[in-house]
Amino acid sequence: MGYDHQNLLFNSEVRWLSCDEVRKRLYELRKEVELFLTDKKSDLSHYYQDKKWVVRLAYLSDIFSYINELNLKLQGPDTIFSAWNKIESFKKKLKLWLNVIAEGKNETFQSYSDHIMEADDFYSHNSVSDIIAAHLKTLLLSFEKYYPEHEGPRKQNMWIGNPFVENKETALSHEETLQTY
């Protein structure tokens, strides 16, 4: 049917990083999966006929690709400071995405946006955009819970990243800098 994929990944145990690929393929091959499930008289085929469910699947394929991308970036040989910067950057993206969704724009989430344009189903879009906003808020709260801004490792240790930056709270007096131990 003109797709890049010849088959759907189907494993009983899927590693975290490959879950994103499974979700993407499931969304991309949704019509074929629906035909297969209908042919097999599976109870699961009704999900693919539910427009709201398919729109949510499109969104999930997008948001998990962003989370997966962050996960891969955090696996590098970085310092805690650069890892924290990446997490802070992702939190800022979540805030931006919340604003974008509130304005009714959805280009950030490509599969979701394409599906809305293709299906031309504004009912699903409006009801799902509220669900997406709630999900993004929950995700942001979770990130803020586990990575609170006020407890960042950079707060008291900026001198490690840049030893020439003066931190008023930990700055040594002129006499203390002249002392030898």
Identify whether 47 is part of a domain. no
Identify whether 113 is part of a domain. yes
Identify whether 4 is part of a domain. no
Q: Which one-letter DSSP state was computed for residue 10?
A: -
Cα separations in angstroms, 25 against 69, 112, 136, 152, 162: 17, 14, 23, 37, 44
Stretch 25-31: mean pLDDT: 88
Identify whether 72 is part of a domain. yes
Q: Give the pLDDT of residue 86.
A: 92
Identify whether 17 is part of a domain. no
With a pLDDT cut of 70, the percent of the chain lying above it is: 69
Q: Give the pLDDT of residue 157.
A: 63
Query: Which amino acid, one-letter code, is at 181?
Result: Y
Cα separations in angstroms, 19 against 15, 48, 92, 121, 122: 6, 19, 25, 28, 29
Report CA 138 to chain centroid distance, whole Å: 12
Identify whether 52 is part of a domain. no
Identify whether 12 is part of a domain. no
pLDDT tens digits for 50-71?
Answer: 888 999 999 999 999 999 899 8
* Domain range enclosing 79: 60-178
Report how many domains make up the chain.
1
Cα separations in angstroms, 63 against 8, 42, 80, 88, 116: 20, 28, 24, 17, 16
Report if pTM > 0.75: no
Identify whether 105 is part of a domain. yes
